[in-house]
Structure 1
Amino acid sequence: MTMLLLTNSWLEWGGTALVAVLVFVETGFLLGLVVPGGETLLFTAGLLCGVDQLKIPIALLVPLLIVSAVLGDLTGFWLGQKLGNRLEHQPNTFIFKRRYWEKAKNYYRQHPHRTLLVGRFLPIIRTFNPLLAASSGMPLSRFLGLTGVGCVAYISTLVLAGYWLGQLFPELGQYVEYIFMGIVALVIGTLLLKAYQERNQPDA
């Protein structure tokens, strides 16, 4: 019971800030390649808002997360300008994988504008989008317009879908601690798996 009360209290007052930070760092610092579940995170945020576990109106939650996503993309764009072509020679690290970079780069070359609009729904593409746009020489104004539309569509769709489910089934609020622990287990499990693969297959 104590654990449940702590979880609920933390979600009520700190959950919104945590979600906003995670949305920002996903593309701002490439952490989307390490920490999984961007879509799951947004859907869950909407769900928790729908069952009144996040103490913020949905009309404020959606714009807040859109701003966080756009700021993350702008940070990634700035990093792309600073790094320039150095990413072409960047070796594999725990965060950066060349196969991911090549996959995203090939997709971006084929559909540069479409990638910024719909690439938000594609995990690897989403993370590398700002870097690719910057390294390709795309003007900041064009990037901001395209990524802004993509962020609005991506955030609104997932958050509102979760919110709708929470409103439709308010009894889901009884299981909020299990939802929270499931997300924690997903993140920790994936990080451990990636660390294991990095240690045993450094050239993969």
Structure 2
Amino acid sequence: MDTTSLIEWGGFLLIVALVFIETGMLVGLVVPGGETLVFTAGLLVSTGSLRVSIAVLLASLVLAGIAGDTSGYFIGQRFGTRLFHKQDTWYFKKKYLHLAADYFEKHRKASLVFGKFLPIIRPFSPVIAGTTNLGFPSFAALTVVASILYMCTFGLTGYFLGSQFPVIREYLGWILPISIMVALVPVIRQIRKNSRKE
């Protein structure tokens, strides 16, 4: 089942749930890509396939994103260093946790905002924040800004493209894989850079 079919089948509540669990339950590497999901949701609102207003969609996704990040923060605070000793599973890869930790160490607070736009960094960034001495008020403020920017960027892009070019919905089979590949470019560069260092 592709992203479009998944959204149309499960509807609004499924989208909100997937946005939450991407960062809230550390399964961001196995659920549909967040940016693809939000973009497609905005697109489907514009074509009437998803029967909510764009304002309700964005507000709900922002709240779900904040809730997911907050859950990830408390997971990091509670389990912290134990996660770095956890064995790899089908959904949890320790190397991605280390990648997020390196990114956070390099960019500190900015990583919570910019890391939101990086598919592999996004699920683990709140967790790393929870393992450090970053206070919750600072984390909460940053995650609110990050969620608003992220949801509005992809949701409104999908909505306005769908409004201006209704025919675009027929080409989602091409658009979605390309958007995923573009989103992965910065992550691939970071992985290659780390491999060279090792």
TM-score normalized with structure 2 length: 0.80
AA aligned to 1:59 is A
Q: CA deviation at 1:23?
A: 0.2
Pairing 1:59–2:69 present: no
Taking the aligned partners of 1:130 and 1:73, their CA distance within structure 2 comes to 6
Name which of structure 1's ranges 34-43 and 16-25 shifts more when overlaid on structure 2.
34-43
Q: Give 2:8's match in structure 1, choosing from 8, 11, 14.
A: 11
Give the 3-state SS of the residue equivalent to 2:109 in structure 1: helix
2:78 aligns with 82
Q: CA deviation at 1:98?
A: 1.6
Q: CA deviation at 1:93?
A: 1.3
TM-score normalized with structure 1 length: 0.78
Give the 3-state SS of the residue equivalent to 1:54 in structure 2: coil
Taking the aligned partners of 1:60 and 1:36, their CA distance within structure 2 comes to 21
Higher RCO structure (Cα 8 Å, ≥6 apart): 1
AA aligned to 1:71 is A
Taking the aligned partners of 2:67 and 2:55, their CA distance within structure 1 comes to 19
1:93 aligns with 89
Give the fraction of aligned pairs with identical amino acids, expressed as a percent: 41
Taking the aligned partners of 2:141 and 2:153, their CA distance within structure 1 comes to 19
Q: Which runs of 5+ in 2 are unaligned?
A: 181-198
CA contact (8 A) 1:51 1:172 kept: no
RMSD of aligned Cα (Å): 2.2
Q: CA deviation at 1:137?
A: 2.1
Give the 3-state SS of the residue equivalent to 1:123 in structure 2: coil
May I ask how many residue pairs the two structures share in their alignment? 172
Give the 3-state SS of the residue equivalent to 1:32 in structure 2: coil
CA contact (8 A) 2:23 2:126 kept: yes
Larger Rg, first or second structure (1 or 2): 1
Taking the aligned partners of 1:171 and 1:121, their CA distance within structure 2 comes to 27
Write out the 4+ residue segments of structure 1 that deviate beyond 4 Å after TM superposition: none
Q: Which runs of 5+ in 1 are unaligned?
A: 1-6, 187-204
CA contact (8 A) 1:39 1:158 kept: yes
